[in-house]
Amino acid sequence: MYSSSQASALRDTPDSLPSNLNDAEKELRREVHTILKQANFDYQRRQYNTVVSAAMKMLNVLEPIKLGQDSKISASVLRECLSILLRVLYPVVPHLTHVLWTDLGYAKTFGPLLDAPWPSVDEAALIQTEITLMLQINGKLRGDIKVPADANKEQIELLALQSEPAQKALNGGAPKKVIVVPGRLVNIVA
């Protein structure tokens, strides 16, 4: 998964998170903590096949990240996310995760993996500041729009009408109707 240079960069990174995370780091933490929340629920129900599925989802989120000069993700955020992945996987594949835990330097901070605390879901990481709504025009999907999570119906309508697909479909005219389904979609009837 990671080259030895990336492993050494992770090993030498402090465990504290930066105080000001960028949008990519917030999104990564949101995804990992959302998956962790589901994995915790699945462990409690003893549904181990979905725990493995959650670990695979986490791995799919983390695998494309490469550390370097132009990386949007800091090493400390990646280190936190990998420690969560290893702890979730530990009951399923203990030998492999123990070796990775030691090689990536987590044993210095948390001690042996067997004694490491179970990762807790950071509820603050789950909060979304922006959501994506599907944009339909005359009942056909024409794209999506990003709106603030706390936007009211009028703000969502305004952002939808200002979008490129809506401008194209309306040709400067007014819509007959705008239907907003909160948290899901906007349908503009031209």
CATH tag, 130-189: 3.10.20.590
Confidence of residue 53 (pLDDT cuts 50, 70, 90): very high
- Percent of the chain, pLDDT > 70? 91
Each residue's pLDDT tens digit, 130-169:
888 999 888 888 888 888 888 888 888 888 888 888 888 8
115 Rama sector, left if φ>0, alpha if ψ -120 to 50, beta otherwise: alpha
CATH architecture of 4-126: Orthogonal Bundle (1.10)
User: Model-level pTM?
Assistant: 0.74
Lowest mean pLDDT across 12-16, 22-26, 82-86, 150-154: 12-16
Residue appearing with tokens 């949008």? 23
Can you tell me the distance from the alpha carbon of 190 to that of 175, in angstroms, rounded to the nearest whole number? Answer: 5
Task: Please name which of 71, 90, 91 lies closest in space to residue 25, comparing C-alpha atoms.
Answer: 71
Strand partners, 187: 136, 179
**Please, which pLDDT band fits residue 12 given cuts at 50, 70 and 90?**
low
Among 6-10, 160-164, 185-189, the range scoring the smallest mean pLDDT is: 6-10
Note the pLDDT tens digit of each residue in 87-109: 999 998 999 999 999 888 888 88
DSSP class of 127 = -
Average pLDDT of the chain to the nearest whole number = 85
Q: How do 177-181 and 140-148 pair as beta strands?
A: unpaired
Q: What is the mean pLDDT of residues 53-60?
A: 93
Within the chain, all domains assigned CATH 3.10.20.590 are found at 130-189
Phi, psi of 136 (to 5 degrees): -110, 145
What is d(CA 60, CA 39) in angstroms, rounded to the nearest whole number?
Answer: 15
Kindly report the CA angle at 143 between 139 and 147, in degrees rounded to 5? 105
Assess contact for 165 and 188: CB atoms under 8 A: no
The token pair at 124 is: 């603050």
Reading the block at residue 80, the tokens are 């936190």
- Kindly report, as residue ranges, where domains of CATH 1.10.730.10 are found in the chain: 4-126
Fill in the amino acid letter for 148.
P
CA gap 125, 92 in Å, rounded: 26
Residue given tokens 């990519």 in the structure block: 24
